[in-house]
Structure 1
Amino acid sequence: MTRLGKTEKTIFGVAVLVLLLFSYFLYDDSLLFPKSNQSEMELIGSVATSQNDVRRKNLDTFSWLPATREDKIFDNDSIYTGDRSEAQIRLQDGTLIRIAPNSLITLNMKNGQMMLDLRYGNLVGDITQGSQIKIKSGAEEFNLDGGGKIEFKKSHSGNVDLRLLAGKVNYQDKKVRKSLDKEQPIAVSPQGVKALVKPTVELLTANNTTFVRENPDDKMPFNWRGRGNIARFEMEVSPTADFNNVAVLKTTTEGKTEISEPLEPGPYFWRVKAYDRNGEIGLSETRHMSLLHLNVPVITSPGQNAEFQMELEVRDPSQLAISTEVRWSADSMLKSYHWQISQDEKFEKVVKEGNSFVQNTLTPRLPSGTYWVRVNGATQDKKISGWSAAVPFTIQVTAKKEPIPDRPELIAKDIKFRLPRPDERRPASEMAPKMEWTSVAKTRGYRVQVSKDLNFQQPQQYDVQDTSALWSQMEKGQSYYRVYAVSPKGQLSPPSDIGSILVEDMKPILTSPQLMEPFNNMSIFLQTQQEPFIWLEWRKVAGATGYTVEVSDKEDFSRILYTSTLPGNRYLIKSKVPLGKIYWRVRAEAKDDLPSSWTDKREFTVYHQKNETFVK
């Protein structure tokens, strides 16, 4: 490490002093912007209490300073309270003003009378008997006198709302002196003083309304009528009458809204709040509603993946078709039903459909194949339910006269296949597992099924003519396969025995080397800063043609300092390494094969005499 010279130390020291000086200016600007001579200002009160974030600023100062208990308040001082903060100001005449959270006021004397300029927020004043206070909000001013407690609130409209809490307080409006009524708050605006009247809400949607949803997001309409100078409405829906758990909250400027949010079926309570432009709130009555979901039908027959097989004596193969019965259970609200049969699960190829007034139907004649059936229902007032879950079934119709082919015999029942490496070259016949079976007489080919489960619920299926097939769409792990012989008219033989196919990745043959020296967590002390000579050693691995070693100063080896592949089992670090912890690991290499896994990492710590962590 290079030591700092005298000049560099001097420059560094001056830079630190300048940084500290400017940091102080950010905290206290009184040196840059001198405060007014407070001795020339009129003392108008003091801070009685201060909780959390309360600040004070004089008219001609630049920054806000914390306001603490017993601080003096002078003419033109401003007081700010933050979130969850409040303060109490005691005026010279004994009047006590409590400033609520998130408020800003300015206090000054005008013609010998105290004036409070409420910029925003709330405050409560205890006016001493015989005192007078002038309240200012924007361009509006009005006088208060008497003895009592009064609440001031700067409303959303910019007006100042006055509410008498206790005692008797008078106010002067256009030279007319009036007394505040405890039961009737007032609002002071550029148009004068007027009584505050709470808005009202009349609910128009009937009580105990039941909504039936066909889908979870079907809209439910609600209507009401508001009276007053209303700015907005808030509708609340809750599963409890105390509305402590509000499930839906909708805000609107109209006397209506629609709810499309998903809700569980059951009873609910709802109400509407009206907010007028003076900040007053009106609350409607609470009404009940119920929500029902129109449950989809459930098909009970045929069962999942049912197979219907039948032999028919026919001359024309087109007559090889049969009907089957479909049954379902359904919600009592459903009075009629519509069914569909398709050749695909998404019902893009609907082959048959019809209507029923009972919970069963007989399908038209269907030829051999795999089908899906589904049902929906309609209520008396034409509300349509969703579709039932699609149920697959298979119909296998064969001509009776044709004999059933013999089943094939598997040549290899247990197939193990190792996936080739990307760089490994193999013949095309060895790039996938090969399934083979014995030949069956009088067939037109074979049907091969491959499945991940022994029940062959949704197998991969291939029709081939030879007695072998490559499974090109192979999947890793254990799978099962079986083979059918197919007659000239399409009749399937019994399935062969079930064979297994195990597809696995190529695994490394080599084992990981065993690390020897240096031991884990060893400390290495260097006498000088010259290149170190540190030997890394490990045990040889049978079959290895070489070894790769990695050295890093990162535990996850995200940055490699040195790496090398060498034939022996020792590696010499002879270049500089950073001080501190060093990590290393080794793996064995094999020609034309995969390397072994990396060994667990080892670490050692490098110190030298100038290292501040050096232990003498």
Structure 2
Amino acid sequence: WRVRVRHERYTSLATQFDYGPWSPAMRIKLDSRQVGNPRLSTEDLAGDLVAATTPTFLWDRVEGAAGYTLQVDSDSNFSRPIINLPLDGTSYTPQDALPDGTYYWRVAARRSRTVLGRWTPTMTFVKRSLAPAVLSPINGAIINEQPTFTWSAVLTPTETPRIAAPRYRLQLSSDPNFSSPRTFTTDATSYTVAKGESLTDGTWYWRIAIIDAKNNVGAYSEPQQFYKEYLPPTLTQPEQGAIVSEMTSFEWMPVAGAAYYEIELADNPLFNSPTRVRTESTRYTPTSQLAPKQYYWRVRMFDNDRRPGPFEIGQVTIVSPSPFQHAVHLPLITKQ
């Protein structure tokens, strides 16, 4: 800036003046006060630079500021800010939850609606949602029926904890890398495999994550491995290797998860050309008399999706009844 003297001329024209020389040019620097103490509400709860929930952004008041501008972006250059807002107060809580990831943020005081002061240094934080704690099945578990998955509810790490997740995302796979997982969504803290979703026998892996109100999927829990295997029925009647003169029925104990059973009856251990019957009962009675000889019989369960369990094999020998088995014995009468 510079200044010079203006002299009025003594003429009839009041707009004519004489000017002196300009003063040497001088320079000033206009510098607004920088916003102080920028911080996140969750830093002391989840660890430095890590937020378990979408944080509140806070800063100290600047004397004389007309307002503030907050910018938040996943790019440190702030090329397309996710949040770019003029604010009157000294804090801001996003209405929409942020997806998990790394974020950068800064804040500046405003001297007017359009004139910004200096930005704070760029700060960063990581949004990392809490993963549910798995309860069952855990690593190494052996499941003999269709499993029920359970986990604990996720609570916010705040002074007054509250439910942090309206829904959960369950992934289930036979591949530990979850390359093509089955995916289920529920608002409960447990999930039971339903009809049409039953698991084959074998090794399986599962993990669980929260889904926030904006459908952002959080961090998954550590994968848990379990082995699912149906058990064969326990045969109860006739006893293994029994020799009987009459056969009335074959019986076995119920199996958890069974929708029905299949029984096969043959006169050879390879079960060539067997009699095959399916029943919802745990008892089978042949409709015709069995010929006297050795028989092999086996039973297995089927679940609601017609997936079979393993067979349990029994053996019984039927012999001809003794000719005296049904004889009628009359009392001996002697003459006195």
Shorter-chain TM-score bucket reads 0.3 to 0.5
What is the TM-score of this pair, normalised by structure 1?
0.22
* Higher Rg of the two aligned structures: 1
Higher relative contact order (CA 8 A, sep 6+): 2
What is the TM-score of this pair, normalised by structure 2?
0.38
